[in-house]
Amino acid sequence: MKTIAIVLFATALASLSLLLGSCQKKPTPLYPVTIVNESSHDVCSIKFFLAGSYHLPAKNLLRESLFRTRKLTSGQQFTVHVARGVYDIRIETCDDLGWGEDVFSVPPNDEWRVSDDRLTPLVR
């Protein structure tokens, strides 16, 4: 009788373990987005927002300690990994010029190029 109880308990425990294992949240896949600075200015801020959510605070991805960089100089590139979604992006140079793009999808957009002809003075 004890043997049957032990077998039933082990079976129930194994079933519960499988059930809990299948309920775990799978990690969100991340996609690379590369910012290429082709301008003659240093970039000091790159911010991604979920499309239409400018009222929410956003982190400056260049100042995150994880990335350990403060600016993106002319000719450099920077890659960040983001979840699938629709985003708005705001890029600011160290001398108060800016550029933005609204409603881009990740994937497929995987690269943005910052050039002098697209930069405009920031309005603060």
- Render pLDDT for 72-114 as a digit per residue (tens, 0 to 9): 999 999 888 888 888 888 889 999 999 888 888 888 878 888 9
Per the confidence metrics, is the pTM higher than 0.85? no
Secondary structure (3-state) at 14 = helix
Q: How many CA atoms lie within 13 A of 99 on its CB side?
A: 21
Omega before residue 107 within 30° of 0, cis = yes
Confidence class for position 43, pLDDT limits 50, 70, 90: very high
Give alpha helix (H) positions in the chain.
Answer: 2-23
What letters, b where the CB count within 10 A reaches 16 and e where it falls short, cover 100-121?
Answer: eeeebebeeeeebebeeebbee
List, in order of start, the domains of the chain with CATH numbers. Answer: 30-121 (2.60.40.2890)
Average pLDDT over residues 114-120: 91
